[in-house]
Structure 1
Amino acid sequence: MDHKSKVRHLKRVGLAGLVVIGGMQVVCAQTSPEPVASETTALPAADPGVDPAASSVLSAAPAQPVVLTADEAKQSATGNVAELQQMMHGSELSELRTTHNGSYGASLLFYGKEMTWYVALFQQKNFWRVIKTSDEGRAEAIYRDFARQTVQLSDVEIRRTRLDAQKAFTERMVAESQDRANRLQADLTVARQQQAIVADQQKQNRDEAAALQTQKLAAQAQLRTTQRQVRNLQRQLESGLPLSR
């Protein structure tokens, strides 16, 4: 084999080897599993005003509020509230979920006879808005949105309740402190009055003691004078009598 033939032979062998290696790389790339990206979704903290049973529903809820369709927005004006109130008296309506925040609440109810869901927003057990739908997913989304609205609506109410309790507690503490101050002031007044009475009594006793001391000294002097007079009179009386034997 001449030199040119050898070169052509080596080129064919090298090209075939490259084709085989490239094919192996393609096969390996197709058979190797693709890496799966791990994604962690942070759940929002549970609101203390939301029922524990509904907290999982709210945490999974989308951040954006649900926009009602034109038909859904008109439903409350077409008798849904009255319809649901009437159905509440029966036994075919099932309450699936309920969230309470302050005096506000949201409920998801199911009417199995017609496979219909009712979503209600209420305050103090009075229905405010009622949405009726045959789409379970839509009903769940509207319920989650209504439940979030109860948190927002009750915020001022809950804050007012707390402030009212704090105000009443503070006023009670002020009244108790004032009562304590009044009793201490009364005790202090009595103590001062008693101190003044005692001081007057002490002065009176001192004055009376001084007067008695003066009277005692005068009486003692008078007693001595009288005793001398008695002795003189006794001697005079006995001077003219004979001496005793």
Structure 2
Amino acid sequence: MKHPLLMWRAVLVAASCALSSGGGVMAAQGETAAPRNASSAAIASAASVTTAASVLSTDAQGNVAELTQLIHDAKLSELRTTYNGSYGASLFFYPRQMAYYVALFQDKHFWRVIRTDDTSRAESMYAGFAQQTAQLADVEIRRMQLQAQKAYLEDIIAMSTDRAKRLQADLNVARTQQARVDDYQRQTQGEAAALRMEKDKVQAQLRQVQGEVIQLQRQTEAGLPPRN
């Protein structure tokens, strides 16, 4: 694994090559993409292209350009780095001059860089910058949380809508089948009533025929000795 500052240096060298080839500052910004999950990535994200452009610019002045050049030359030691959202703070040590650089950055851009020879002041400024990143990231983190909650609720709505459609489909089937059953029941009841009437008519006919049979039997047996 490369040393963090070596990875910074690689980022800055790549940006320098892009600028020297005529790509300009915007091209260098487009070509730099470093991971942020490691200590080296913390530095690479902070320095990135904006600081590289500052080094190569003839008008570049101040601590930002000085820190960037030292990173480019691999002369610094990274002591601490804190991330909060896209904001970060780093504390660097320059052994050759016994100096400290305290940097505040946001989304691949150095924001503030303070140089001091006082160890206590360097630690204090770093703590202040780290606290500042936490405060600055509050809105960003809250936005991320709200975005996640919104997406979660949208997923629930989508699932609930799909469930409602399924239930409505089942209800439509049930209603259609219920209507068919009702029609069948009415038809069956009508047929049963008609059959009941037919049965009563047939029974009446049966009683009539049976009566006629009895009368004919009596007539046939008239004058004959009675049965035992």
Is TM (by shorter chain) over 0.5?
Answer: yes
Q: Is the 8 A contact 2:78 2:90 kept in 1?
A: no
Alignment of 1:6-21 (within 5 A): none
Aligned match of 2:122 in 132, 136, 139? 139
1:84 maps to a residue whose letter is I
Asked whether 1:83 is paired with 2:83, we answer: no
Aligned partners of 2:72 and 2:199: how far apart in 1?
A: 106
2:143 maps to a residue whose letter is R
> How big is the shift at 1:218?
1.0
When residues 221 and 143 of structure 1 are mapped into structure 2, their CA distance, relative to the original with a 3 A threshold, is: same
When residues 164 and 105 of structure 1 are mapped into structure 2, their CA distance, relative to the original with a 3 A threshold, is: same
2:110 maps to a residue whose letter is W
When residues 113 and 77 of structure 1 are mapped into structure 2, their CA distance, relative to the original with a 3 A threshold, is: closer
Aligned partners of 1:110 and 1:157: how far apart in 2?
A: 30
The C-alpha deviation readout for 1:62-115, integer Å capped at 9, x for no partner, is xxxxxxxxxxx722235x225325538xxx7241x3332212110112244542
Alignment-derived partner of residue 15 in structure 2: none
Asked whether 1:215 is paired with 2:198, we answer: yes
Instruction: For structure 1, list consecutive stretches of 5 or more residues without a partner in the other structure.
Output: 1-72
Q: Is the 8 A contact 1:120 1:131 kept in 2?
A: yes
Aligned partners of 1:140 and 1:204: how far apart in 2?
A: 93
When residues 204 and 82 of structure 1 are mapped into structure 2, their CA distance, relative to the original with a 3 A threshold, is: farther
Aligned partners of 1:206 and 1:221: how far apart in 2?
A: 22
Q: Is the 8 A contact 2:87 2:105 kept in 1?
A: yes
Q: Partner of 1:87: helix, strand, or coil?
A: coil
Alignment-derived partner of residue 74 in structure 1: 62
Count of paired positions: 167
When residues 161 and 152 of structure 1 are mapped into structure 2, their CA distance, relative to the original with a 3 A threshold, is: same
When residues 192 and 85 of structure 1 are mapped into structure 2, their CA distance, relative to the original with a 3 A threshold, is: farther
Query: What TM-score comes out, normalization by structure 2 length?
Result: 0.58
Aligned partners of 1:111 and 1:76: how far apart in 2?
A: 14
> How big is the shift at 1:228?
2.5
Instruction: For structure 2, list consecutive stretches of 5 or more residues without a partner in the other structure.
Output: 1-60
